[in-house]
C-alpha cells in the first residue's frame, strides 16, 4: 500500500508535466499571429545565410570522456545502496559495518587507478 | 441564524468526510491519485508564480548591482507587474520553428525541461502544517529513495537541453548543446557523490530522515549549534554548492548559453512561448536546487530551537530565498569561466574533493 501511496502521485505529476507544456504550445498555435515571410524560418546565424549543415560529427575524444563519466556515474549509483545499508541495525552479520567500509574502500581505490590512468592519458581535457 | 448555518455546514463536512473515508477504503488508489492531482495543480501554480518572482528579483537585483534601475514602470515604482506584461507579450508572439529544425526534438525540449522540474518538485518535502492538533507533512510523496529520485529527475533536464540544441540545428545551438553535455556530465559525478556522502552520514535516502538527523544531534554537545550537514561536512557543502551552480547553468558556468560568444547557445532559435517554457524551467531548477540545498545541508525546515509546526513552511521558504539570493550574488559578480577551465575544475578538483568528503562522511557516520 505504501508503494501505491508514494508512486501513484508521480504518475499524475508525469501526466501534468507533459500536459502543461503541450497545452501551452497548442494554445499559442491557436492564438498567435502568423506571418508569411519565409526568410524568418532560416536558422539564426547573425544575419548570414547558413553554410552547410549544423549537425556535425563530433570528435572521437568526446566519447572517451563520456565513458569516464559513465564509469564514475555507475560508481555513484553503486554507492547509494551501500550508503543506506552499511550501518543498518537490521543486518546482524558480525562486523558488518567494518567489512562494508573496507569493501567500498577497495572498490573506490580500483576506480581511482582508472581515474589516474584517464588523467595521464588526457581524457579529462577539453577536446583540442 | 448564524449558528444554524454553521451547524448545517458542519454536518455537510462531516457527511463528506465519512463519505470520502468510505470511498478511499473501497478504492485505495483514489487517495494517492487525488493527492497527486491537487498537489500537481498547487505545485505547478506555485512554481510559475515563484519563477516569475525570482525572475523579477534577479532583474531588480542585477540592476542594483550594476547601478541601473531595472524594471521601474509597469505596475508601480518597482516594476512589480513587469513579468505579467512580459507573459502577455510572449503569449501573443508568433510561434516560429526554423525550417531546418527537427520538429519532434524542437517541440520535445521544452516538454522535457518542464517535466524534469515538476517531477523534481514531487519528490521533496517542504515542511509541516498543523491542523486541529494533527501534523501533516507537506510533500506529495515521502519515498525512501527520495534523494536518489530527485537527483535522477534533475539529471533528465540535460536531455531537454541537448534536444533543444540538436533539434534547432543552428551552429551556435549545436556548440552550446555539446558544451552543455560536457559540463553536465563533468559536474554530475561530484554532485552525486556529495549527495551520497550526505546520505552516508545519515544512513538513509529519505529527506525527512535527513532533516530529522540534522536536528536530533547537537554539534560537539554545544547547545543551539545544530548538526546541520553544513557544519558536519563543510567540504561536501562547498563541492555540492559549486556543482549545483554548474548544474543550474548559473553565471560562472553558463558557457552553453554564453550570450557574448554563442548568442544564446542551445536556445538561440527559440522564441515566444517555447522560449519562455525553457527559460522558466531554468528558474524552476534554480528554485528547486535551492530547496535541495536547504534540505540536505541547511537543516531543512528547522531552526536550532523549538518552534511551532506551522512555522516550518515559512522557515523553509525563507532559507530557500536566502540561498537564491546567495546564488544571485555569485551569478552577478563572477565572470564566466572558459569551457576547458570548467572541465578542469569539475574533473580534477571537485571529483577528488568529493571522494575525500565521502571518506570523511563514512568515517564520521560510523562513529555517530
CATH at residue A57: 1.20.58.1610
Partners of residue A79 in chain B, C-beta under 8 Å: 192-193, 196, 200, 358
- Contact list, A113 vs chain B (CB under 8 Å): none
A78 belongs to a structural domain:
yes
Cβ–Cβ gap A125/B35 under 8 Å: no
Q: What is the mean pLDDT of residues A57-62?
A: 68
Q: Quick one: pLDDT at residue B218?
A: 63
Query: First-to-last CA distance in chain B?
Result: 62
pLDDT for the residue B224: 66
Q: Is residue A41 part of a domain?
A: yes
Where is pLDDT greater, at A23 or B364? A23
Distance from CA of A89 to the nearest CA of B (A): 10
A56 pLDDT more than 80: no
Which residues make Cβ contacts (< 8 Å) with residue B281, sequence separation at least 6?
B110, B113, B114, B116, B117, B157, B160
Q: Would A37 be classed as within a structural domain? A: yes
**pLDDT tens digits along B261-277:** 677 777 777 877 888 88
Q: Which of A10, A73, A86 to mutate to test the interface with B (most CBs of B within 10 A)?
A: A10
CB pairs under 8 A between A and B: 211
Q: Does the pLDDT of residue A6 top 80, yes or no?
A: no
Percent residues over pLDDT 70 in chain A: 91
pLDDT band at A61 (very low <50, low <70, confident <90, very high): low
Mean pLDDT, residues A35-46 taken together: 75
Could you identify the residue written with the cell 525512501? B144
Give mean pLDDT, residues A91-111: 82
Residues of chain B scoring pLDDT < 50: none
A122 min Cα distance to partner chain B (Å):
11
Chain A residues with beta carbon closer than 8 angstroms to that of B340 = 125-126
pLDDT value of position B1: 65
Spell out which residues of chain B touch residue A74, defining contact as CB-CB under 8 Å. Answer: none
Please tell me the distance from the alpha carbon of residue B286 to that of residue B114, in angstroms, as a whole number: 13
How many domains are there within chain A?
1
| pLDDT for B260 | 65
Sketch the domain layout of chain B as residue ranges: 99-367
Distance CA B356, CA B368 (A): 18
Q: What is the pLDDT of residue B321?
A: 92
The pLDDT value recorded for residue B258 is 65
What are the DSSP E strand ranges found in chain B? 125-131, 134-139
Q: Tell me, yes or no, whether A91 lies in a domain.
A: yes
pLDDT at A128 over 60: no
Query: Is A128 within a domain?
Result: no
**Predicted pLDDT at B165:** 83
A94 shares contact with chain B (CB less than 8 Å)? no
Whether ipTM exceeds 0.95: no
Residue A123 grid coordinates: 581524457
Host domain of residue A9: 2-121
In a domain, A34, yes or no: yes
Question: Nearest by CB to A20, which of B114, B274, B344?
Answer: B114
Amino acid at each position: 500500500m505504501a508503494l501505491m501511496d508514494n508512486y501513484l502521485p508521480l504518475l499524475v505529476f508525469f501526466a501534468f508535466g507533459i500536459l502543461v507544456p503541450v497545452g501551452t504550445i497548442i494554445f499559442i498555435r491557436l492564438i498567435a499571429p502568423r506571418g508569411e515571410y519565409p526568410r524568418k524560418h532560416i536558422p539564426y546565424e547573425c544575419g548570414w545565410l547558413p553554410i552547410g549543415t549544423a549537425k556535425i560529427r563530433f570528435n572521437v575524444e568526446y566519447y572517451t570522456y563520456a565513458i569516464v563519466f559513465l564509469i564514475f556515474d555507475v560508481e555513484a549509483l553503486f554507492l547509494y545502496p551501500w550508503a543506506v545499508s552499511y550501518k543498518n541495525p537490521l543486518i546482524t552479520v558480525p562486523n558488518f559495518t567494518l567489512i562494508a567500509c573496507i569493501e567500498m574502500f577497495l572498490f573506490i581505490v580500483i576506480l581511482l587507478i582508472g581515474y589516474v590512468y584517464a588523467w595521464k592519458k588526457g581524457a579529462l581535457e577539453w577536446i583540442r | 441564524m448564524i449558528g444554524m448555518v454553521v451547524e448545517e455546514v458542519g454536518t455537510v463536512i462531516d457527511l463528506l468526510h465519512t463519505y470520502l473515508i468510505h470511498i478511499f477504503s473501497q478504492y485505495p488508489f483514489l487517495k494517492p491519485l487525488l493527492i497527486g492531482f491537487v498537489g500537481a495543480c498547487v505545485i505547478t501554480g506555485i512554481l510559475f508564480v515563484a519563477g516569475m518572482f525570482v525572475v523579477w528579483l534577479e532583474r531588480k537585483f542585477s540592476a542594483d548591482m550594476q547601478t541601473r534601475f531595472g524594471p521601474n514602470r509597469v505596475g508601480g515604482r518597482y516594476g512589480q507587474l513587469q513579468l505579467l506584461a512580459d507573459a502577455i507579450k510572449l503569449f501573443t508572439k508568433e510561434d516560429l520553428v526554423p525550417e531546418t529544425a527537427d520538429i519532434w526534438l524542437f517541440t520535445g525540449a521544452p516538454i522535457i525541461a518542464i517535466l524534469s522540474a515538476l517531477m523534481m518538485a514531487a519528490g521533496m518535502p517542504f515542511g509541516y502544517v498543523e491542523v486541529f492538533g494533527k501534523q501533516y507533512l507537506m510533500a506529495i510523496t515521502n519515498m525512501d529513495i527520495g534523494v536518489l529520485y530527485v537527483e535522477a529527475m534533475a539529471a533528465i533536464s540535460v536531455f531537454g537541453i541537448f534536444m533543444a540544441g540538436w533539434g534547432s540545428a543552428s551552429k551556435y545551438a549545436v556548440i552550446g548543446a555539446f558544451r552543455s553535455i560536457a559540463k553536465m556530465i563533468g559536474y554530475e559525478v561530484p554532485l552525486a557523490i556529495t549527495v551520497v556522502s550526505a546520505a552516508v552520514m545519515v544512513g538513509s535516502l529519505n529527506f525527512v530522515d535527513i532533516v530529522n538527523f540534522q536536528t536530533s544531534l547537537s554539534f560537539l554537545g554545544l547547545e543551539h549549534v545544530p548538526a546541520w550537514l553544513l557544519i558536519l561536512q563543510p567540504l561536501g557543502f562547498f563541492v555540492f554548492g559549486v556543482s549545483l551552480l554548474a548544474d543550474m547553468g548559473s553565471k560562472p558556468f553558463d558557457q552553453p548559453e554564453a550570450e557574448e560568444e554563442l548568442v544564446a547557445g542551445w536556445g538561440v532559435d527559440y522564441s515566444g512561448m517555447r522560449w519562455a517554457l525553457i527559460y522558466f524551467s531554468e528558474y524552476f531548477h534554480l528554485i528547486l536546487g535551492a530547496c535541495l540545498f536547504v534540505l540536505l545541508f541547511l537543516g531543512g525546515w528547522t531552526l536550532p530551537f523549538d518552534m511551532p509546526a506551522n512555522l516550518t513552511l515559512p522557515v523553509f521558504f525563507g532559507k530557500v530565498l536566502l540561498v537564491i539570493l546567495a546564488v544571485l550574488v555569485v551569478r552577478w559578480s563572477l565572470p564566466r569561466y572558459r569551457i576547458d577551465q570548467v572541465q578542469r575544475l569539475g574533473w580534477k578538483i571537485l571529483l577528488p574533493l568529493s571522494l575525500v568528503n565521502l571518506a570523511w562522511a563514512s568515517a564520521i557516520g560510523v562513529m555517530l
